[in-house]
Structures are given as structure tokens and as C-alpha cells.
Amino acid sequence: MRLLVLGGTGEARALAAALHPGHDVITSLAGRVRDPRLPVGQVRIGGFGGPAALAEWLRRESIDAVVDATHPFAERISASAATAAAQAGVPLVLLRRPGWAAGPGDVWHRVGSLDAAALAVASLGERVFLTTGRQGLAAFADCPQWFLIRCVDPPDPPLPARSEVVLARGPYTVDGETGLMREHRIDVLVTKDSGGPLTAAKLAAARDLGVPVVVVDRPAAPDVPVVGTVAAALAWLGVSNLSAG
């Protein structure tokens, strides 16, 4: 098969590895991270120019199927891919890892947007660990709290007036997250519901420290088939790979 994988996640890299070299896999990356982790196989970096242009690309490249394995918050890309695949008559499946669920001892406050998260922290703490990525930080620009902002690449302004930026990439450990939160006297954590183990250690650290967590819910997925694991995506494609998780 000739496949397009919309990537940028660990699941996308694992899927490309499971399909390579038996299938012709092209992984598309948005190009928003300066030094991305690259999958095996062909890699295309940059946007397609909208749904119509992507549909034409799918037809021109004779793509047999599309796997949308982008980040759960890549709402625009997923919507564009769903529209383009329908226009081109190409099957598409959304590979989306399950979200996080609160457990015993967790103090979570679920909100529907970054703007709502900025409002929520006002009553929860004065020193905020902000782990929502470098996009959308403008929602917190007018907040009076002090923020520890962690992201992979340097963020663009506007940022909160009282803030410190730390550049890091997961996976993280519970000990490391606990130490970081203690060092900076964090009393509230803000995160998107990304799911998966790569960045989940901060949730365990917050639980152990008794720190409340503001969790931004995921946007709604497009109306397409959805699977939660690489193995399920391979099964949808009709490919057998018992080692895929």
C-alpha cells in the first residue's frame, strides 16, 4: 500500500516503523517543531494548503489510505484531512490515544478551552506550572499569577508578565516532575488532555504533592473511524503486526 500518515506523535512514528519497509509510507509533519523526531520512511514537512489542495495531492500521489495520527489538539489539521480524504475518495482513520482519567487522590478541574483554564487558575493558586505548549499562551498573558512555562521550542509573545520559560522534551519521570514542582513552589498545574505516558508523570507528581490540576478537554474529533492504538490502526489497514502496541 501507499499510505499517508499525518504525524508528529509517538504513535505516528511507531506506525511508520511497523509499516516499513513492506509498505510505501509518507509521514507528513506540520513543521511547527524546530527539531522534530523523524520517523522511518519518507517525510514531508509543511502544510498542504487546505483541504482541496490535500485532496488533489492524495489523488496525484495515488494514496491508498490516510492515517491521521496527529496530536489530539491538532483540530484544524484533522478537520482538513477528513474533508480532503472524502473529496478524494481515500479511506481515512483517526489514530488517537485515549485521554487521561482522574484517579483516587487527583484534584482535577476540567475546562473546555485555554481561556477557561486562565479563568480557573485565578481561584486555585499563585504559582502555575503551564504545560499546554507554546501555542495559545496569549490566553494567560493578562493573568497576575507567576507561571513556569514548559515547551519544546521558545514561545512567541505575548506571555504572562511574571513567568519563566523552561525548554524540555518528554518523556519525563515522576521524580523529575516532583523535583521541578517543589523547586518552583508550584501550587497549580495546567495541562491539555494529551493522553499517553510520555508526559503523564506530571499528573502523578501533582497527585503526590496535593497540587490541583486544570485539564483542558480535547476538541471534538471529526466524524471518521477512530482507533486508539497502533495495533488497531494496523488492523484497520489490514496489516498484521503483533509487536505493535
CATH number at residue 70: 3.40.50.720
Give domain status of residue 123, yes or no: yes
The answer, yes or no, to whether residue 86 has pLDDT greater than 60, is: yes
The enclosing H or E element of 84 equals: helix 75-88
Q: Are residues 212 and 114 in the same domain?
A: yes
Q: Are residues 136 and 122 in the same domain?
A: yes
Q: Are residues 91 and 115 in the same domain?
A: no
Distance CA 67, CA 64 (A): 10
Residue given cell 473546555 in the structure block: 112
Contact indicator for 84, 52 with CB cutoff of 8 Å: yes
Among the ranges given (21-35, 67-81, 139-153), the one the predictor scored with the smallest mean pLDDT: 21-35
Report pTM. Answer: 0.89
Q: Are residues 189 and 208 in the same domain?
A: yes
How do residues 43-78 score in pLDDT, each as one tens digit?
999 999 999 999 999 999 999 999 999 999 999 999
Q: Quick one: residue 64, left, alpha or beta (phi over 0 = left, psi -120 to 50 = alpha)?
A: alpha
The answer, yes or no, to whether residue 95 has pLDDT greater than 80, is: yes
Mean predicted lDDT score pLDDT of the chain: 94
Give domain status of residue 175, yes or no: yes
DSSP 179-209: HHHHHTT--EEEEE---SSTTTHHHHHHHHH
Q: Are residues 82 and 128 in the same domain?
A: no
Q: Are residues 227 and 181 in the same domain?
A: no
Which among 47, 45, 2, 46 is positioned nearest to 22, based on CA atoms? 2
Q: Which domain holds residue 71?
A: 2-98+220-237
Pick the more confident residue, 244 or 5.
5
Q: Which pLDDT belongs to residue 94?
A: 98
Angle among Cα 148, 149, 153 to the nearest 5 degrees reads 145
The answer, yes or no, to whether residue 129 has pLDDT greater than 60, is: yes
Count: domains in the chain: 2
Q: Are residues 115 and 183 in the same domain?
A: yes
Among the ranges given (30-34, 144-148, 155-159, 225-229), the one the predictor scored with the smallest mean pLDDT: 30-34
Give domain status of residue 113, yes or no: yes
The answer, yes or no, to whether residue 159 has pLDDT greater than 50, is: yes
Q: Are residues 141 and 167 in the same domain?
A: yes
> How many residues are present in the chain?
245
The answer, yes or no, to whether residue 31 has pLDDT greater than 80, is: no
Give domain status of residue 243, yes or no: no
Q: Which pLDDT belongs to residue 239?
A: 87
Give domain status of residue 57, yes or no: yes
Give domain status of residue 31, yes or no: yes
Q: Are residues 112 and 210 in the same domain?
A: yes
Give domain status of residue 242, yes or no: no
Distance CA 217, CA 73 (A): 9
Q: Are residues 116 and 211 in the same domain?
A: yes
How do residues 184-213 score in pLDDT, each as one tens digit?
999 999 999 999 988 999 999 999 999 999
The CATH number linked to 178 is 3.40.50
Q: Which pLDDT belongs to residue 168?
A: 94
Q: Are residues 130 and 63 in the same domain?
A: no
Distance CA 36, CA 93 (A): 23
Give domain status of residue 40, yes or no: yes
Q: Which pLDDT belongs to residue 241?
A: 55
- Band of the pLDDT at 243, cuts 50, 70, 90? very low
Q: Are residues 67 and 42 in the same domain?
A: yes
Percent of the chain with pLDDT over 70: 98
